[in-house]
Every structure is written in structure tokens, then in C-alpha cells.
Structure 1
Amino acid sequence: MTADRKAGQSMDSVFPHLTAQKLPRLISIKDADFSTVDAVFCCLPHGTTQVPILLSLLIPLHFHIRFSGSSMDVFFSQEIIKRLPTSLKIVDLSADFRLRDISEYEEWYGQPHKAVELQKEVVYGLTELLRDDIKKALLVANPGCYPTSVQLPLVPLLKANLIKHDNIIIDAKSGDTGAKEANLYSEIAEGISSYGVTRHRHVPEIEQGLSDVAQSKVTVSFTPHLMPMIRGMQSTIYVEMAPGVRTQDLYQQLKSSYEVVIWFLLCVICIKARY
């Protein structure tokens, strides 16, 4: 288990509630021997993952680094990446590798992408939809929370052409552990507030996944809300069904798509608007 400022300390001194877990002492990334592990979970903040993954995991290989001002461009060929042990799986929990479009990443996260060539090798880690690709992947981009709750129900419906590609409205709610900003108790308790309206960073990730399966550009109206609960998430999604499609058709499509997923509980409630 690696750390930055806490390197050298025991895990229970950093998180006392984990004392009973008997976890190993924290070490710095540069001191980690990645040849002895089967999988790596990278839990760094957005914008800080690309270079550590490259430097820590690919340092034994030959590559070229070019410094340009304060930024660093790292170039890797596909052959270099293929030389990594196929048994080593890297799962990045930040958003640094989720967006395939480099310009979109730079627009939404406000900084240049530092591993452009490596981005081409990344597999988006939504297991229920890309299980086979993930099995073969070297680097997996762990999906965002809201995109997971939105794509799981919508992707099978778009793939089967059961719903229209436009007028998709997502009313999402998250517990306070998902909020980016620190909040006072009085700002969260007994209330609800929207945030990131029209500019939430999960929008391009959602639209990327939906556009892939629809094979055309899909845009959504997405509004997240902060709820006074410790954790959890709920996304209420409004869609227009394709001509001739019934509510039962949506249910059957989702049921057949996730019948092998043991944790997936399917419940469809349809409210028909009357004009």
C-alpha cells in the first residue's frame, strides 16, 4: 500500500478505524516493487494519476521523456505497453483515463493530458457491459459514480433501439461523501441542493458511453443533487420510448441484459404523462 505524505506510517495511525485489519505499513510509490503484485489500484486525485502510472509501472522499460516548460510529455509505443506482464492489471480510480477524447479531458479537467499514447490502450471499466475487454486490458479506467448509475439502465435500451436518442433527462442524487466540496453539517442536514449544473465533469463520460452504443452523438440533460445521507446514489431517468415500444419491452430488455448479474435488482416503474 503506497502513500505520499503518509509514507512510512502504519495504516492504523492514519485511519484508526482500520486497526483490526492488520494492513501493511505505507510506503512511497518509488519504493514499491510492482513485479510482486497481480493488480494495482491507483487512488490518486484527478490530474495526478497519469505520470505516476507511467513512471512507477513502466520505468523498467525504455521510453523517452521530453520536458517542455512545466509540463511533461511522455511517449510510449504500443510495443512498449505490450511488453508489460499480461498478469498485471492496473485499475485507475480517478478520471484521468476515462475520456478517450483528449481535448474533452483538457476542457473538462482544465489541464493537459500527460499520457496521450497510453490513453489509446485504456479500457473503460464498466464490468457489466465490457467484461471481456476488461479481462484482456492492461489499464482499466474505473467509471465515475454517476455515469455508472446512468449507463447501466440506458445502454441496453439504446442498443436495442427501444428509446429515442434525444430528450434524455437525468435527475441524480448523491450522498454527502460524493460531494467535491467540504460542507458544514448545517449545509447538508435537512436539505437538498443541486450542484455542477450544466458543467458537471461526468457529463462527457455519460455522453461518451451512450454515443458509443447509439453510434451517433447523444447529449443528455444532467443535474446532480447533494442529499443529506452518508452514502448512496439514485438516478431518476426520463426517456421517450421509440414508436411501438411498451414499458414491458424495456423491462424485458433490462432483465435479459443483466440476468447473470447477481447483485442487479430490476424494478421498473412507469408513469405515463397525460396531456
Structure 2
Amino acid sequence: MTRPPRVLVIAGSDSSGGAGIQADIKTITMLGGYAMTAITAITAQNTLGVQAVEVLSPELVVAQAKSCLDDIGVDAVKIGMLGSPEIAHAVANLLEGTACPVVFDPVMVATSGSVLADDATIAAFERLMRLAALTTPNVTELAALGGVEGLETRGIAFLAKGGDAPGAVVVDRLYRPGRATMEWTAPRIDTRHTHGTGCTTASAIAAGLGAGHDLVAAVEQARDFVRAALVAAPGYGAGHGPLGHQAVR
């Protein structure tokens, strides 16, 4: 029996189950991986927004991650909401000695519009982008990080996601140092149930890399999974509802 790839997720908890650690676990599990977690923050949130956030200590975040790394082992890491610059630096310190691929989702703003990262945290993202195999900003996050040119000058690989850009067609672009830009286009799926798309995308890519896929194949798998989950959304909540992770086959 082949063992499932081990994916460590370092991110915040979403009490409504649509995004964050909960979406990560669902995604990795549905794609055949073994999910482990280091929770950075506990949020009270739902499809309408984030009502409260309690950030954990950097020491506890690192302790959770080390418990997984030292015993279970890891084939890939996904980083999501960090909550503070201190946690960002502590995670960077931990992972700089780790050889496995890292996927960094630079979470700054939730689908609802709630801000989840301050200026100091964004500045601390620099170290994580440098060590990541891929960074996955949406349109707003990409702008905050200096745009396409700003990230290209850093010499990092990143997936510029187009799901929150206007238009009937969604365009995702993969930039890699020294390589031609790759572009995927698809008709927009008309739905308000998009909570957790960013978390799901990054976790699906991490699951693919952990399973030994190359970066392009991992991105393609992730895009297919997210689109299927959007179509399968159960329709919960009065705002931006969750995806239908469990319905994807």
C-alpha cells in the first residue's frame, strides 16, 4: 500500500469550515494526502465576515509544526494566514532548514473583505516568499506585494490568481524565474459561494507537490479541483458560502 503524501498546513482556523485549516484538511484529504496542522490563529467567522480573531503565540505555532516534522515527517508544507509578523518570522526560521516544497498563500484579506494581515506582517512575508516553491497571491494581494513586476524582480515563482478580477473569463498566470509565463483561462463559474478558494488552491498545489508532481501539474490539478468544488458548493450561508470539497470525485 502506498502511503499518502504528508502535508503540513500552517494557517488559521475558520469556525464556519469554509476556509482556513478546515478547507485545507478537506482538500488534502480528498486529493489523497495526509493533512497535519499548526494553527496560527482562531477565528470566529462565517460567510458574512470575520467577527473575532485570537492569534496564538509564535512558540505554540512552532511547537505544533515541530511535533509533526519530528515524528510524522513531511512531504510538502502549505502556509496560509499567519496572524502576526512574529509568527511569520518564526515559521521562516523553522522552514529555512526544511528541504520539502513550500506553498505560500499570502493571506491578507478574506473573501468577505475583512483584513487578516497588517503592514508589518506583509513585510515579514518577504522571507517566506523567498523560501517557497510557489507563492499564490490573488489580485489584491499581488498589488500589495508590488504587482507582477515587483514579484518578478524578487526572482520567485508565483501564481497570479484571477478569480477576483472582473470579467467573464478567469485567467491564472504562473510566473517562474527564467521560464516563459504559463496562462490558463476558463469561463467564470457564476456563484457567490467562493469562500475558501484561495486556501483550497494552495492546499491542492501542496498536495500535488507532496505527491511528486511537478509545479505545472500541481497547479493544473488544483485548478480542476477548485472549479469542481465551486460547482458542487452546497449553498450554505447568506454571504460568500463554502465550496463543496467533499463532493469532488
Q: TM-score, normalised by structure 2?
A: 0.29
Which has the larger Rg?
1
